[in-house]
Amino acid sequence: MTPGALSPEPPPATAMRAFIAIAAVAAILATARRFSQAVHTRLAAIGGALFWFAIAAAALATLLASNGTRPLARAIPFVAPLVWAAMAVSAAAVAERVARPSMHHRALVAGLGCLALGAISVGSSASLLGSETRMYERALELDPDNERVLQHLGKDMLARDPKTAHEAALRCLKRRIDACACHAIRIDAELQLKDLPSATRHARTAASICPANVGVDAAAAQALARSNSHADALAAADRGIDALELTGSPAQELGARLHEARGSALEGLGQPAEALAAFGRAIELGASRETTLRAAALAIQNEDYAAAESYTTSMLAQNAKDADALYNQGLIAHKRGDYNKAREGYLATLRVDPEFAVARYNVALLTWEQGVNQEAISHVRRFLDDYPDDPRGAQLTKMIGAVSATELPQHNR
């Protein structure tokens, strides 16, 4: 009747809440039946029947929403018209019976008045009912530790304000220590807040409390991988991947996180080929740019230049001015001995980001190796000017030792 008064996504049912709900439904149905029998008119019978239909529609909506993919309030636009129609017809039946005969159209006036109240009530909540995100936010306002709501809002909350997400997760866990979604949010928030010791400690705790939760496994695997607990990270990632495959879940984001963490763990365990395969699977599932960049770097390090070039090309397809991808393009060509392509890759990087130090360093090395000495000296001079405290400056100075001392900045001699 009044969508904004109650939570759009109630917390999980308890025995007491279930008892109250059943008692309320039974009372409504009994009242509707007694009303239609007491008033004993056609309108009263229709009003009572509409109440029964409204209850049936609400029960069906609850059943359909029980998988937790959408807020319960999504059903309001379908159930509310039945409820208000039942009230309008019942009000018309009462008016028809008790109003004075001189009051013409009394039933019509009462029914329309009730429908107008319903339209105002539902209309005032239009902004709420039109947005699932707003529904969840309103539910969180009314119930700050609602696990299902936190599960849906967690990603947005973490993106906007990880500290607020962390506080919400703590409130949730204070009420229910076995709330797995809240454990996952807590770990992710601590990772974003760069509190790695806490994230690692809570990852181990959450894994023991929620041994079969994919969200917890993904968060725990990432935390453990970043803390160099590679064997434990690999175990958590494999557990989560197995759970996804067992359930046939299409959760691509979780799958990408699990495979990315698996790749990190395998890289830490000294298994680069297996790590590249895991990173590749994460990228297929939509992993972030950072994962693609990491895979490219590992492929270069492992001398798998074809894979590295594929990752670099995909990054440039997304953003032709991605400095990291342009640098990798130059580095791959440098490793392959392709002078022209390597030089162009490094220079393209510097055009996008003139402060990309390693690109300046590498193009100085490249041009000096190829005997293009004047260009090499120009790059060395620029490097020494821009990065006077970089130890690589001494290496470059030594490399071109035949150059007159007056041509180079004195602070790097």
Per residue of the chain (413 residues), give pLDDT as tens.
555 566 656 666 567 766 777 888 788 878 878 877 787 788 888 877 888 888 887 777 766 665 555 666 666 777 778 787 888 888 888 887 776 555 557 777 877 888 888 788 777 777 667 666 667 667 666 666 566 676 677 777 888 889 988 988 888 888 888 888 889 999 999 999 999 999 999 999 998 999 888 989 999 999 999 999 999 999 999 999 998 887 655 578 889 999 999 999 999 999 999 999 999 999 999 998 999 999 999 999 999 999 999 999 999 999 999 999 999 999 999 999 999 999 999 999 999 999 999 999 999 999 999 999 999 999 999 999 999 999 999 999 988 885 544 454 444 33
In a domain, 283, yes or no: no
In a domain, 68, yes or no: yes
CA distance 162 to 33: 52
Domain boundary among 104, 136, 168: 136
In a domain, 220, yes or no: no
Domain boundary among 136, 165, 193: 136
Q: Is the pTM of this model over 0.85?
A: no
CA distance 320 to 158: 29
Domain boundary among 136, 165, 194: 136
First to last CA, the chain: 81
Residue listed under structure tokens 């049912």: 13
CA distance 152 to 69: 8
CA distance 168 to 160: 13
For 277-298, b/e burial (b = at least 16 CB within 10 A) is: bbbbbbbebebeeebbbbbbeb
Closest CA to 281 of 305, 256, 301: 256
* Cα radius of gyration rounded to whole Å, the chain: 33
In a domain, 290, yes or no: no
What's the total number of domains in the chain? Answer: 2
In a domain, 186, yes or no: no
In a domain, 321, yes or no: no
In a domain, 145, yes or no: no
Cβ atoms of 168 and 140 closer than 8 Å: yes
In a domain, 250, yes or no: no
Q: Which domain range does residue 91 map to?
A: 15-136
CA distance 338 to 155: 44
State both tokens at 233. Answer: 């990270």
